[in-house]
């Protein structure tokens, strides 16, 4: 991850020096690259977002690993995968069980889903399991990987990549609002 300099130096996560949430966006881009390197068809993956400065103060031995070759300062947020997180069929209920300590500045979730283009979903059954089976077998289905993150300052952002458009990355502050809301509750 790289830092995001401004006139005063690197942007600091969770401060007024980062009003646009560039540190959150940078962390999500890094998570998406990390998850994408393992390919598609992955389970949901949860990440704590920690201020790199605080992480390095606690673990100075990580300094070389957190700097890209040739880079100066490390990114302001470091994503730490939560290997113990195992999502079930009810992702929102799984996330409702998560609570972060105050040392965690934000969190992110990478999830893959299938959807149908507009108009193709008109005949889906009401039963969620049956609808999921129809979508999975539909010839016009699209697969998407979404990485959504929130921070303690209330910023939210998401990035998404369609499997059919591997070179395109979409992003926005309100990409998956329901998921962002559930993630925000894990920080309370």
Find where tokens 């920690």 sit: 50
The answer as to whether 1 is a domain residue is no
The answer as to whether 8 is a domain residue is no
Is 153 in contact with 14 (CB distance < 8 Å)? yes
Q: What is the dihedral sign for C-alpha 178, 180, 181, 185?
A: positive
Kindly give, in sequence order, each residue whose CB lies less than 8 Å from that of residue 93, ignoring residues fewer than 6 positions away: none
The answer as to whether 56 is a domain residue is no
Other beta carbons within 10 angstroms of residue 63's beta carbon come to: 12
What pLDDT, on the 0 to 100 scale, is given for residue 92?
94
Each residue of 76-99: b (16+ CB within 10 Å) or e? bbbbeeeeebebeeebeebbeebe
- Of the listed ranges 78-87, 116-125, 167-176, the least confidently predicted one is 116-125
What pLDDT, on the 0 to 100 scale, is given for residue 19?
52
Share of the chain above pLDDT 70, in %: 84
Give pLDDT tens digits for 87-138. 998 999 999 999 999 999 999 999 999 888 888 777 788 887 788 788 888 8
* Residue span of the structural domain in which 181 resides: 21-47+78-186
The answer as to whether 11 is a domain residue is no
Of 141, 145, 160, 159, the closest CA to residue 111 belongs to 145
What pLDDT, on the 0 to 100 scale, is given for residue 126?
84
Give pLDDT tens digits for 129-140. 788 788 888 888
The model's confidence at residue 2, banded by pLDDT at 50, 70 and 90, is very low
The larger pLDDT score, comparing residue 12 to residue 53, is at 53
Give pLDDT tens digits for 16-50. 556 557 899 999 999 999 999 999 999 999 999 99
The answer as to whether 58 is a domain residue is no
What pLDDT, on the 0 to 100 scale, is given for residue 37?
96
What pLDDT, on the 0 to 100 scale, is given for residue 13?
42
The answer as to whether 91 is a domain residue is yes
Residue 160 has pLDDT above 60, yes or no: yes
Mean pLDDT of the chain: 84
The model's confidence at residue 68, banded by pLDDT at 50, 70 and 90, is very low
Find where tokens 């040392």 sit: 103
Kindly give, in sequence order, each residue whose CB lies less than 8 Å from that of residue 7, ignoring residues fewer than 6 positions away: none
- d(CA 46, CA 124) in angstroms, rounded, equals 30
The answer as to whether 16 is a domain residue is no
The answer as to whether 28 is a domain residue is yes
The total number of structural domains in the chain stands at 1
What pLDDT, on the 0 to 100 scale, is given for residue 67?
58
């Amino acid at each position: 991850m790289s830092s995001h300099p401004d006139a005063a130096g690197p942007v600091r996560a969770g401060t007024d020096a980062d009003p646009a949430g560039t540190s959150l966006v940078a962390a999500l881009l890094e998570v998406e690259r990390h998850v994408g390197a393992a390919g598609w068809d992955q389970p949901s993956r949860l990440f704590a977002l920690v201020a790199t400065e605080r992480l390095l103060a606690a673990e100075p031995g990580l300094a070389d690993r957190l700097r890209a070759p040739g880079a100066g300062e490390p990114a302001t947020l470091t994503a730490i995968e939560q290997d113990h997180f195992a999502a079930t069929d009810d992702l929102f209920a799984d996330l409702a069980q998560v609570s972060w300590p105050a040392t965690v500045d934000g969190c992110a979730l990478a999830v893959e889903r299938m959807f149908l283009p507009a108009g193709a979903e008109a005949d889906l059954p009401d039963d969620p399991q049956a609808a999921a089976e129809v979508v999975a077998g539909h010839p016009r289905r699209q697969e998407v990987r979404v990485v959504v993150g929130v921070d303690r300052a209330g910023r939210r952002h998401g990035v998404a990549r369609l499997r059919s458009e591997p070179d395109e990355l979409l992003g926005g502050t309100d990409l998956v609002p329901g998921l962002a809301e559930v993630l925000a509750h894990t920080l309370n």
